[in-house]
Amino acid sequence: MRHRRRRAPWFLIGGGLALLLIPQLVPVYFTHLLILTLVYGLAAMSLDLLLGYTGLVSFGHAAYFGTAAYTMGVVAQRLQTGSLTAMGAGVLAAAVLAALFGLLAMRATAVYFLIITLALGMGTWGLAYRWVSMTGGDNGLPGIPAVDLGFGWPLRDPVALYYFILLVCAAAAFLLYRLTLSPFGLALQGIRESEGRMRMLGYNTWLHKYLAFILAGATGGLAGTLYAAYNGFVSPTDLHITASAEQVLMVILGGSGTLFGPVLGAGVVVFLRNLVSAYAQRWLLILGIVFIVTVLHAPEGLLGKALTLAGRRARPAASGTPEAAGARPGGVVAEQATEPEQEGA
Amino acid sequence: MAFWLGQTLNGLSFGALLFLMASGLSLIFGLMRIVNIAHGSYYLLGAYIGLTVVRRTGHFGLALLAAIVALALIGAVMQRLFLARFYRQEQAQVLLTMGFSFAFADLALWLWGGDPQRLATPAPLARAVTLGPAFFPAYRLAVLLVGAAVAVVIWLVLERTRLGAVVRAAVDDQEMARGLGINVAPILTGMFAFGAALAGFGGVMGAPFLGAYPGLDSDVLPLAFAVVIIGGLGSLKGALVGSMLVGVLDNFGKALFPELSYFTLFVPMAVILALRPTGLFGRG
- List pLDDT tens digits, range B175-222: 888 888 888 888 889 999 999 999 999 999 999 988 899 989 988 888
Q: Do A281 and B88 touch (CB under 8 A)?
A: no
A341 vs B: CB within 8 A: no
What DSSP character marks residue A144? P
What confidence score (pLDDT) does residue A152 get? Answer: 63
Asked whether the beta carbons of residue B91 and residue A116 sit closer than 8 angstroms, the reply is: no
How large is the average pLDDT for residues B16-30? 90
Q: Is residue A206 less than 8 Å (CB to CB) from chain B?
A: no
pLDDT value at B116 more than 50: yes
pLDDT of residue B63: 94
Closest CA to A162 of A35, A17, A29: A35
Q: Report the residue of B95, B96, B264, B280 to disrupt the A interface, i.e. the one with the largest count of A CBs within 10 Å.
A: B95
Closest C-alpha among A60, A213, A49 to residue B266: A60
Local confidence band at A219 (pLDDT 50, 70, 90 cut-offs): very high
Residue A221: pLDDT over 90 = yes
Cβ distance of A104 and B270 shorter than 8 Å: yes
Is B277 in Cβ contact with A131 (below 8 Å)?
no
Q: What separation in angstroms does the CA of B186 have from each of A57, A267, B44, B233?
A: 29, 42, 26, 22
Please report the residues numbered 131 through 160 in chain A whose beta carbons come closer than 8 angstroms to any beta carbon of chain B.
131-133
Would you call B136 helix, strand, or coil by DSSP? strand
B258 contacts A130? CB cut-off 8 A: yes
* DSSP bridge partners of B212: B117
Write down the pTM of the prediction.
0.85
Q: Is the pLDDT of residue B19 over 60?
A: yes
Cβ–Cβ < 8 Å for A253, A269: yes
* Residue A301 and residue A252 in contact, taking contact as beta carbons nearer than 8 Å: yes
pLDDT of A337: 38
Rounded Cα distance between A256 and A50, Å, is 10
**Distance (Å) from the C-alpha of residue A293 to the closest C-alpha of chain B?**
9
Q: What integer pLDDT is reported at residue B277 of this predicted model?
A: 77
Cβ contact (<8 Å) for A126 and B225? no
A123 and chain B in contact, CB less than 8 A: yes
Of B91, B225, B260, the CB nearest to A122: B225
Q: Which residues of B204-215 are buried (b: 16+ CB within 10 A; e: fewer)?
A: bbbbbbbebbbe
What is residue B144's predicted lDDT score, i.e. its pLDDT? Answer: 93
Compute the average pLDDT of residues A1-13. 59
- Amino acid identity, residue B241? V
Q: Report the alpha-carbon angle B204-B205-B207, nearest 5.
A: 60
Confidence (pLDDT) at A280 = 64
Q: Can you give the pLDDT at residue B15?
A: 94
ipTM of the complex model: 0.82
A16-25, A68-77, A144-153, A270-279: range with lowest mean pLDDT? A144-153
Angle, vertex CA B64, rays to CA B60 and CA B67, nearest 5: 130
Q: In B, which residues are within 8 Å of A118 by CB distance?
A: 35, 37, 225
How near does any CA of chain B get to the CA of A299, in Å?
8
pLDDT band at A224 (very low <50, low <70, confident <90, very high): very high
Whether the CB of A110 is below 8 Å from some CB of chain B: the reply is yes
Instruction: Tell me if A122 and B222 make a contact (CB, 8 A cut-off).
Output: yes
Report the 10 Å Cβ neighbour count for B284.
Answer: 12
Chain B residues whose CB is inside 8 A of the A123 CB are 222, 262, 265-266, 269
Nearest to A291 among B91, B102, B221 (CB): B102
Q: Is pLDDT larger for residue A320 or for residue A61? A: A61
A36-87 pLDDT per residue, tens: 999 999 999 999 999 888 888 888 999 999 999 999 999 988 888 888 889 9
Does A106 contact chain B (CB < 8 Å)? no
**Is a pLDDT exceeding 50 seen at residue B263?**
yes
Question: C-alpha A32: how far from its chain's center?
Answer: 19
Better-scored residue on pLDDT, A290 or B69: B69
Which of B91, B107, B266 is opposite residue A57, by nearest beta carbon?
B91
CA distance B152 to B156: 6
Answer yes or no: are the C-beta atoms of B199 and B21 closer than 8 Å.
yes
- Of the partner residues A119, A120, A292, the one whose CB lies closest to the CB of residue B99: A292
pLDDT at A178 over 60: yes
Q: What's the pLDDT tens digit per position in B206-262?
A: 999 888 999 899 888 888 988 988 888 878 889 999 999 999 998 888 888 877 777
Which of A134, A281, A291 is the mutation pick for testing B, counting most B CBs within 10 A? A291
A252 touches chain B (CB under 8 A): yes
pLDDT tens track for A249-282: 899 888 888 888 889 889 988 888 888 776 667 8
Chain A residues 46-65 with a CB less than 8 Å from chain B: 57, 59
Q: Would an 8 Å CB–CB cutoff place A263 in contact with chain B?
A: no
Reply yes or no on whether the pLDDT at A153 is more than 70: no
Question: Is it the case that residue B43 has pLDDT exceeding 60?
Answer: yes
Mean confidence (pLDDT) of chain A: 81
Q: Is the pLDDT of residue A318 over 50?
A: no
Question: Are residues B86 and A242, on separate chains, in Cβ contact within 8 Å?
Answer: no
Task: Considering only the beta carbons, identify the residue of A103, A118, A282 that sits closest to B106.
Answer: A282
pLDDT of residue A176: 92
- Please give the pLDDT value at position B74: 96
Residue B72: strand, helix, or coil: helix
- Measured distance CA(B192)–CA(A15) in Å, rounded: 47
Distances (CA, A) of B251 to A26, B125, B246, B248, B258: 53, 22, 8, 5, 10
Tell me the pLDDT band of A297, cut-offs 50, 70 and 90: confident
From chain A, pick out residues whose CB is under 8 angstroms from the CB of B229: 115-116, 119
Quote the pLDDT of residue A215: 95
- Cβ separation A126–B94 shorter than 8 A: no
**Is the CB of B102 less than 8 angstroms away from the CB of A288?**
yes
